[in-house]
Structure 1
Amino acid sequence: MPDAKAPLDLLLLPTWIVPVEPAGVVLRDHALGIRDGRIALLAPRAEALRHPAAETRELPGMLLAPGLVNAHGHAAMSLFRGLADDLPLMTWLQEHIWPAEAKWVDEGFVRTGTELAIAEQLKGGISCLSDMYFHPKIACEVVHETGVRAQICVPVLDFPIPGARDAEEAIRKGVALHDDLKHHPRIRVAFGPHAPYTVSDDKLENVLMLAEELDAGIQMHVHETAFEVQQALDKTGERPLARLHRLGLLGPRFQAVHMTQVNDEDLALLVETNSSVIHCPESNLKLASGFCPVERLWQAGVNVAIGTDGAASNNDLDLLGETRTAALLAKAVAGQATALDAHRALRMATLNGARALGLEQEIGSLELGKSADLVAFDLSGLAQQPVYEPVSQLIYATGRDCVRHLWVAGKQLLDSGRLTRLDEGRLAAAAGDWGRRIAKG
């Protein structure tokens, strides 16, 4: 821990602080101090003002919370936003997205698309994201340059993909990328075997062996649709999650994305192995993929995080909006108005996401010694009045346009709604150029 008597780099004085841990707490008339990129002080306002600070910022009408964690996405697919809407998943993938990727995705596409996605996410209060897409080395470069925190999942499929001729090459490049970045303070390299129906047993066993050796995460689309599960049963008599368990993949480092199909056996496996589930409600709704039973999972003790999925199937990267959808959908699916209350919804978008990515000791809650990954939401607008319970107002009455400030490791990446490291005009022009090229075919 840093010297408690040393001057703070920054003292923040918001109207409310929601630390997320302990659960359900809202601190009023408190302050948060940052030193050397970490949370060094969390104290009543009067006490905090006695500490010397290089900079003090009043944040009236604002709620200070941990930065949001987008636990699943495909960043560069922001350049395919709106390209093939209103189609079922397999039609969308096989007839539109995969052909477009084969034609257009190169390093330049990934760089611009990832920059665009990170800019959108920072402006929406997301300080940490998980990305699974091609040319992961380029994504890592963009993450490094922009200052955001990320888990970069190396995509692994049984067929050629942009940047890798086969799964062996993808895995080999992934291991090299992990070795290059294993000491990076903001980037974790994980493995991203695409889905049970696109990756064979031998490749999954190889991924597992390397993940255990490197202590790396494994993120995978699992039980996204009823069709996927039924197809596996018809071919092998085994549900995809059961197959992954048989192969040894399930465990604390495993991140099962979607999980719209969960029976009693699936639930037991998730609980037994302490695997995490990444819920992507709006993508699932738009593709009519099904409903993840969030409340049932939560009550059983499964760690449930939240992700936006890619902008090609959502169509935005708005995690605050996603969290509101998740809370409302959980109530309808469970048939209980008490399901996934506002505080638990915020926890799902922060600490649960950090835990899924193996980062819960570093981020996800406002606790002394943790990294100063913070977001300030402005609740002073007419649409948020009156404020009886600020977390309820945040989840049910606030949009991402209310995000004012964001810090990652104490460095401000969003100041009064303005990006500090990315040029929005340049990004918009570059994205427009790509859009015109792709539209022409």
Structure 2
Amino acid sequence: MNAGAPKSADLIIKGGCCVTSDPDQPVLASGSIAIKGGVIAAIDSDDVVAGEYIARDIVDARGAIVHAGFIEPHVHLTSAGFHGLSLDALAQSGPTYSDLKSATDDEVTAALAAAFSVAMLRKGFTCFAEAGTVFETDAMAEAVTECGVRALVAAPYAWDELSVMRASAPGLLGGGILDRAPASFERSIDACAKELKRNANPKALVRGFVCIYGEGSASDELTSAAKKLAREHRVIFNEHLGYLSASYIAEQEKFGMSGVRRLQRLDVLDNLTTLTHLNAISAADADILVTEGVNAIWCPLNVLQRALFLNNESQHIGLLRRGVPVGLAVDTFLSFPPGAQAIAASLLSGTLRQPLSGADILSMQTLDAARCLGLDEEVGSLVVGKRADIVIRAPGDITQTPVGPADNLMGMSGGSIPVDTVVIDGRIVMRDGQTTLVDERATLDQAIAQRTRLLQRAGF
């Protein structure tokens, strides 16, 4: 090929308003993206990319917003099948959410995982992390992979010391949870190691990370061993911490120090540690997180629903302003639909008189969310060399078109703008609003059937 001849690409997306989540160039008003081997090979003006690349497949965005796929950094997947059931995750009298989670099997989990993956694609999410509450992780991984979605999965219920949870949140231990996940150091660390075997293939869509349940449910020995395992494999160490004041106080009383201070003492805090919730932490705890370079995941829908901000001084926005990567998560779909965390963050930040911009909220769903999962070198922004996880929107009305900075619109309303095309790892997995790898109707029908079966198994 001559030096001046166009280079070959697998796919070109042209004519897009590119919202990149790249701090150096957050918006490219009219641009194209060339994709080769699953990776972004070029992102530039339409003329430049057209002059340098040719492709077998060209998608014309027709001026619509093109953005890095949203990332859901913390979700409990089983809840996706029960949105609207009005279950309280903390309830002690049954049937309960814990009854549902403990009654799953391979068929249930595979069906719910596939339907959930389709639901996420429809909201512009290309990656999610299941936070250690799925028992059938292989079935989940297979179903998600078949849909072409990227995900992280962790050991189910890694814990070995439950006195704090029994005192502060006993409903989370109900049903048959402890029959399937007894409090055990050996079981927990072995299960954590098992999930990391997925990472032998660095290009696998579904990979493992280390997530212990947290909220005071792990001994010093399990916490240290789990972090050691995460360091050896260069993956994120994650746990729930400070969801409720009651559990955070109980943990402090048991260990003689705050949960954050305890983790610092155990030397598990660094830039590959991500802590979820942090609703009950103090300003002194926040200082520790900033000093140690920890990542935080914020679930503002929970904070609003339980009015947690009335009794706790929220530290999340302050952490963000001080340079801590803060990812935005739904957590559970029992009461909240996919993508609702963005408007919740906007409303809560105003209530706290610490208003976030749309661009802030967008970063919390893209680049910062990727940092929380240890994936920011691979995804989270539209940058040459990263994996091509890209979404093209399909604006349906005037409120879904940018009149100012497009990144501001995407942060404020991205969850409500219809999706036309989704590319994950360079492959088109949704086109013209329809999935390309799975039959959506059949996927939904199967999930509904398995949901009904699970309700019966759980005693509903």
Q: Distance in 2 between matches of 1:298 and 1:69?
A: 17
Q: Which residue of 2 aligns with 1:202?
A: 221
Letter of the 2:266 partner, please give it.
L
Matched, 1:174 2:192: yes
Name 1:421's counterpart in structure 2.
437
Alignment-derived partner of residue 296 in structure 1: 318
Aligned length in residues: 430
Which TM-score applies when normalising by structure 1?
0.90
SS, match of residue 244 in structure 1: helix
* Range with greater deviation from structure 2 (298-307 or 24-33): 24-33
1:288 offset after TM fit, Å? 3.8
The answer for the alignment partner of 1:42 in structure 2 is: 43
Measure the CA separation in 2 of the matches of 1:386 and 1:151.
32
Aligned to 2:274: 255
Change in CA separation of 1:180 and 1:350 when aligned onto 2, cut-off 3 Å:
closer
Q: Secondary structure at the match of 2:287?
A: helix
> Residue 15 of structure 1 contacts residue 60 of structure 1 at CA under 8 Å; is this kept in 2?
yes
Deviations 1:288-335 (A, max 9, x none): 4447433211122211011121212x43222xx3123213322321x1
Q: Larger deviation: 235-244 or 354-363? A: 235-244
> What is the distance in 1 between the residues matched to 2:93 and 2:385?
44
The residue identity in structure 1 corresponding to 2:147 is T
CA contact (8 A) 1:123 1:417 kept: yes
Aligned residues: CA RMSD: 2.5
**1:108 matched to which residue of 2?**
107
Q: CA deviation at 1:216?
A: 2.4
Equivalent position SS for 2:61: strand
How much has 1:243 moved relative to structure 2?
1.6
Secondary structure at the counterpart of residue 60 of structure 1: coil
1:387-425 alpha-carbon deviations (Å, 9 max, x no partner): 233223333345435121111111011112111122222
More moved, 168-177 vs 300-309: 168-177
* Shift in Å, 1:24: 6.4
Structure 2 residue 258 is matched with structure 1 residue 242: no
AA matched with 1:12: I
Candidates 337, 343, 350, aligned match of 1:331: 350
| Partner in structure 2 of residue 76 of structure 1 | 78
TM-score by length of 2: 0.86
User: Would the aligned equivalents of 2:111 and 2:143 in 1 still touch at CA under 8 Å?
Assistant: no
Kept in 2: contact 1:11–1:31 (CA 8 A): yes
- Paired amino acid for 2:67: A
Q: Measured at CA, do residues 123 and 357 of structure 1 come closer, stay the same or move farther in structure 2, by a change above 3 Å?
A: same
Aligned: 1:411 with 2:437:
no
Q: Is the 8 A contact 1:218 1:253 kept in 2?
A: yes
Q: Indicate conservation of the 8 Å contact 2:11/2:57, yes or no.
A: yes
Deviation at 1:15, TM superposition (A): 3.6
Letter in 1 for 2:100: A
Contact 1:383 1:398 in 2 (8 A): no
Corresponding position of 2:170: none
- Opposite residue 217 of structure 1, the aligned amino acid is I
Q: Deviations over 1:415-440 (max 9, x none)?
A: 12111122222222223223433445
State the one-letter code of the partner of 2:106.
Answer: E
In 2 relative to 1, CA 96–295 (structure 1 residues): closer, same or farther, beyond 3 Å?
same
Report the AA paired with residue 416 of structure 1.
D
Shift, 1:162, TM fit: 7.0
* 1:352-367 → structure 2 map (5 Å cutoff): 352-367=368-383
1:382 equivalent in alignment to 2:382: no
Residue 63 of structure 2 aligns to which amino acid in structure 1? G
Using the alignment, how far apart are the partners of 2:46 and 2:149 within structure 1? 29
Structure 2 letter corresponding to 1:171 = I
Closer, same or farther: CA 171–235 of 1 in aligned 2, 3 Å: closer
* In structure 1, C-alpha distance between the alignment counterparts of 2:68 and 2:409, rounded to whole Å: 16
Gaps of at least 5 residues in structure 1 are: none
State whether residues 379 and 394 of structure 1, in contact with CA within 8 Å, keep that contact through their aligned partners in structure 2. Answer: no
Can you give the 5+ residue segments of structure 2 that lack an aligned partner in the other structure?
Answer: 163-176
Q: Give the distance between the partners of 1:367 and 1:187, measured in 2 at CA.
A: 22
Show the counterpart of 2:68. Answer: 66
Q: Who is 1:368 aligned against?
A: 384
Instruction: From the superposition, tell whether residues 361 and 93 of structure 1 become closer, same or farther in structure 2 (CA, over 3 Å).
Output: farther
Between 1:174-183 and 1:414-423, the stretch displaced more is 174-183
- Superposed displacement of residue 35, structure 1: 1.2
Amino acid corresponding to residue 230 of structure 1 in structure 2: I
Asked if the contact 2:327–2:372 (Cα under 8 Å) also holds between the matched residues in 1, the reply is yes
